[in-house]
Amino acid sequence: MDMAMMRLRREDPRVVGSFRLHRRLGAGGMGVVYLGSDRRGQRVALKVIRPDLAEDQEFRSRFAREVSAARRIRGGCTARLVAADLEAERPWFATQYVPGPSLHDKVAEEGPLPAAEVASVGAALSEGLVAVHEAGVVHRDLKPSNILLSPKGPRIIDFGIAWATGASTLTHVGTAVGSPGFLAPEQVRGATVTPATDVFSLGATLAYASTADSPFGHGSSEVMLYRVVHEEAHLHGVPDALAPLLRACLAKDPDERPSTLQLSMRLKEIAAREAQGLSDSRPPVQRVREREAQELPTGRLTERYTERLVERGSMGERGSQSRTAGGSGSGSGSSVSRSGSPRSTGSSPRTGGSTGGSSPRSGGPSARNGGSSSRTGGSSSRTGGSRPPQPRGTGRTGGGRQPAGGRTTSAGRRPANPRLLRQRLIVFVVVTLIVALGIAAAQQL
């Protein structure tokens, strides 16, 4: 049913019940839907039943039962029933007006939706169907045009042909009610509808959202109904993350389909995983760092850190010599502060990588400190596992970079500073103890 607004026609009523009608929202097999409002300004979608159906007493009685059941539906994924008059010359009912395009219109205009969005919409819809089925109602006509994408999430509309659980899908003239291509096989055969009927329709709807095409192709109503009963759904183009689940929803046997609750939980998992996959557009260094952080409980990160620590310890003296020759202080165990006095680094595994000249987050030298304490024995375990050891002296400084602002210290030029050696010895002992405790804790996990 087309939900685009159109002006009222001459034959359309201007007032129905306590609602004033403003526009046509569309027309379907059961009647015409109008945009209306009450005296308080609340907007509603009001459907007036066709005159020929209004004269059918069997239809009136069934319609009355279903409107009564629809009043019991609770949940934020459906358009709430506001009012109804089942005794009017032309029965009508009004539901909360939902702004936003239908799923059909969005896909037609913008193309297939990403897997994460399809899974998110499907999870919300299946959760809404849980509330519908708990009220003893089966929608029976779930399709892209009956799903509105409101700012607050998807909403299921048009319960006009919904029947109570256990009702037949056939009208008094023996024709199936619903939309070819989205009907379940049991509806086509005239068998009893169950909540699994809506699961089939939801699976076909999500397949359409993923491919912008019906899983049963195109053709006349008879051809489409035959395919639904006898042929497998075509899911070419459906993302791999969704295809197995949608195929299960489109099983010919209702007992082989997942329940709405199972479907909701599974789609939530897929939506979360696919959203995480979309975030992999982050820089490669950040993705590698996160993967290595996940390895921490296994102890492999600690082992790599220990290897680097031994390597750095053997290169410590050479780093001191290159610092003296180049006058830059890079590769030393101290970092020149703004006041020009040497500052001890690596006093703890958390501060060892943050006060030095190489930031573990940016991966480059710090212009503020001019030195790189993350290359000393006091580097943190976080930076130790995220980057392989760098050669000293010229690898990052480009041949002896001066401290920021040209500041130098006499301590930075002495080849043997007793105070510096004591600091480095203390740092080495502290870090060795921390690494040993880390390895012991990892082995106990």
pLDDT tens by residue, 213-265: 999 999 999 999 999 999 999 999 999 999 999 999 999 999 999 999 999 99
Half-sphere CA count of 97, side-chain side, radius 13 A: 21
B/e letters for 47-58, b = 16+ CB within 10 Å, e = fewer, are bbbbeebbeeee
Separation between Cα atoms, residue 271 and residue 287, nearest integer Å: 20
Q: What is the pLDDT of residue 392?
A: 44
Interval 169-190 mean pLDDT: 68
Separation between Cα atoms, residue 208 and residue 144, nearest integer Å: 8
Token readout for 408 is 């130098």
Helix 418-444 with 300-326: angle, nearest 10 deg: 170
The per-residue pLDDT of the chain, averaged, comes to 73
Active site residue 141: yes
409-422 per-position pLDDT tens digit: 444 454 557 788 88
Report the chain's C-alpha Rg in angstroms.
Answer: 35
Q: What is the pLDDT of residue 157?
A: 86
What is the 3-class SS of 359-381, one letter each residue?
CCCCCCECCCCCCCHHHCCCCCH
Which residue carries 């192709």 as its tokens? 217
Q: What is the pLDDT of residue 415?
A: 53
Give the pairing type, strands 163-164 and 137-138: antiparallel
**Residue of 141, 158, 213, 255 with catalytic role:** 141
Q: In one letter, which amino acid is 122?
A: G
Separation between Cα atoms, residue 116 and residue 138, nearest integer Å: 27
Token readout for 409 is 């210290």
> Is the pLDDT at 336 greater than 60, yes or no?
no
Residue 206 host element (H or E)? helix 195-211
Best-predicted range by mean pLDDT (76-80, 167-171, 319-323, 328-332): 76-80
Q: What is the pLDDT of residue 322?
A: 43
> Is the pLDDT at 102 greater than 60, yes or no?
yes
> Is the pLDDT at 426 greater than 50, yes or no?
yes
Instruction: Please state the pTM of the whole predicted model.
Output: 0.58
Lowest pLDDT segment from 141-155, 223-237, 263-277, 411-425: 411-425
Q: In one letter, which amino acid is 50?
A: R
Q: What is the pLDDT of residue 70?
A: 73
Separation between Cα atoms, residue 136 and residue 369, nearest integer Å: 70
Interval 178-202 mean pLDDT: 92
Best-predicted range by mean pLDDT (84-88, 104-108, 364-368): 104-108
Interval 347-363 mean pLDDT: 40
Higher pLDDT, 265 or 65: 265
Separation between Cα atoms, residue 116 and residue 272, nearest integer Å: 7
Higher pLDDT, 332 or 194: 194
Give the pairing type, strands 43-49 and 81-85: unpaired
Q: What is the pLDDT of residue 80?
A: 84
Separation between Cα atoms, residue 31 and residue 171, nearest integer Å: 16
> Is the pLDDT at 372 greater than 50, yes or no?
no
Q: What is the pLDDT of residue 361?
A: 41
Q: In one letter, which amino acid is 39?
A: R
Q: How big is the chain, counted in residues?
A: 445
The DSSP result for 127-171, as a single string, is HHHHHHHHTTEE-S---GGGEEEETTEEEE---TT-EETT-BSB-
B/e letters for 26-43, b = 16+ CB within 10 Å, e = fewer, are bebebbbbbbbbeeeeeb
Q: Which residues contact 368 (CB under 8 A, 6 or more apart)?
A: 338, 404
| CA neighbor of 101 nearest in space, from 27, 25, 212, 28 | 25
Token readout for 348 is 């703890």
Interval 424-434 mean pLDDT: 91
Confidence of residue 294 (pLDDT cuts 50, 70, 90): very low
Interval 268-276 mean pLDDT: 93
Q: In one letter, which amino acid is 375?
A: R
